[in-house]
Amino acid sequence: MRRKASLILLALAVFFAALSPLLRWYAFPRLAKIPAGQYQDMVLEAKNATLIDYGTMKARTVPKVTVVQTLKGNVEASEKIEKTAGRDVVVWDSLSYVQGPDGKMISKIPERYIFDAHSQEPVHATGEMVDGDAVRRNGIEFKWPFLTEKRDYEYFDAQTRTTAPIHYKGTQDFRGLKVYYFEQTIPWTKVHFPRTMPVKGITRESLAKTGTAMWYTTVRKFWVEPVTGAPVYGEEIHKEELRGGTLLGDRDKVTAFAGHVKMREDYIEHTVALVKSNRTTILLLTSYLPWGFLSLGIGLLALSLYLEARSRRPGDPTPAEAAEPEPVSA
């Protein structure tokens, strides 16, 4: 009976020991994915910001500038791209909508970001764009990979349409979460005017005819929870200027916008709670269950060997001895 039990335990030990690496290296890449239909929004604010008045073409200080960012998963587009990409793809249609203290639109920049559902690597396909301009992204945007590492990453800057390193600056504690702090500086760069301008009749093309150009710089900061790869908080020290051309008269440049943009408090609380919940799911696949199953397999193996040893008591005949025939006399 003990020998039969030890064989059953041995089989279970092998099963759980084999299941441990399967969960981590096979199931995790296939189960940990961004949902194709995900929707999320975020509100950021820049208080006491500098903003241009297009009526007078002069900069003024305003109490607050609000940035509303939305990300909407396009399931139909992702399914279409998956047919040729050969992997699970997410298509995010995003909109960055900036409004002044009076609620009027300052700018709105649509984007289409196409990426691998697990690795977050960009997938190049028709429709990839920023503000109607076709782009070819390299590097991440919006989100870091699952199990983020302590290293620099390539991060796509939508305003310049270029990719530059975003540097790992250290590990910090943020609202009870261990996070990695990343920072990227985009130097002054000439950029496109938005296609949708706040003043009726002014277009990107009409501004180009005046010879006036827009320049931009920013310091981008993210606090990223490494297990999920999700930013729990972000800031930008953002500056835009109009330079040259006849639009400014005798002035060389005018500040179009300058402000320290930060996530609003209620969105910070919501994001932290959501990331904590998702973090547990990822840890189950990468740590808790694989190590638990491995420990269980080792424990069952030890118990199996113990029962096998108990079944072989000293003095008991071996199966060969028990089967040996007795001698027969004449």
Q: How far apart are CA 84 and CA 18, in angstroms?
A: 34
In a domain, 287, yes or no: no
Supply the range of the domain harboring residue 128.
32-263
HSE value, Cβ hemisphere, 13 Å, CA-based, for 325 = 3
Q: What is the pLDDT of residue 269?
A: 95
In a domain, 122, yes or no: yes
In a domain, 14, yes or no: no
Give the pLDDT confidence of 253-281 residue by residue, as tens digits.
999 999 999 999 999 999 999 999 999 99
In a domain, 60, yes or no: yes
The yes-or-no verdict on residue 330 having pLDDT over 50 is no
The share of the chain scoring above pLDDT 90, in percent, equals: 64
In a domain, 194, yes or no: yes
Q: What is the pLDDT of residue 55?
A: 79
In a domain, 140, yes or no: yes
Q: How far apart are CA 316 and CA 323, in angstroms?
A: 13
Give the pLDDT confidence of 22-79 residue by residue, as tens digits.
888 888 888 899 999 999 999 999 999 999 988 788 899 999 999 999 999 999 999 9
Give the pLDDT confidence of 77-135 residue by residue, as tens digits.
999 999 988 899 999 999 999 999 988 999 999 999 999 999 999 999 999 999 999 99
Strand partners, 62: 49
Give the pLDDT confidence of 126-144 residue by residue, as tens digits.
999 999 999 999 999 999 9
Question: What SS3 string covers 229-278?
Answer: CEEEEEEEEEEEEEECCHHHCCCCEEEEEEEEEEECHHHHHHHHHHHHHH
In a domain, 247, yes or no: yes
Tokens representing 242?
């109009």
In a domain, 327, yes or no: no
The share of the chain scoring above pLDDT 70, in percent, equals: 93
- Short-list 108, 69, 74, CA closest to 91: 74
How many other CB atoms sit within 10 Å of the CB of residue 238?
22
Question: What SS3 string covers the chain?
Answer: CHHHHHHHHHHHHHHHHHHHHHHHHHHHHHHCCCCCCCEEEEEEEEEEEEEEECCCCEEEEEEEEEEEEEEEECHHHHHHHHHHHCCCEEEEEEEEEEECCCCCEEEEEEEEEEEECCCCCECCCCCCEECCEECCCCCECCCCCCCCCCCCEEEEECCCCEEEEEEEEEEEEECCEEEEEEEEEEEEEEECCCCCCCCCCCCHHHHHHHCCEEEEEEEEEEEEECCCCEEEEEEEEEEEEEECCHHHCCCCEEEEEEEEEEECHHHHHHHHHHHHHHHHHHHHHHHHHHHHHHHHHHHHHHHHHHHHHHHCCCCCCCHHHHCCCCCCCC
- Structural domain count, the chain: 1
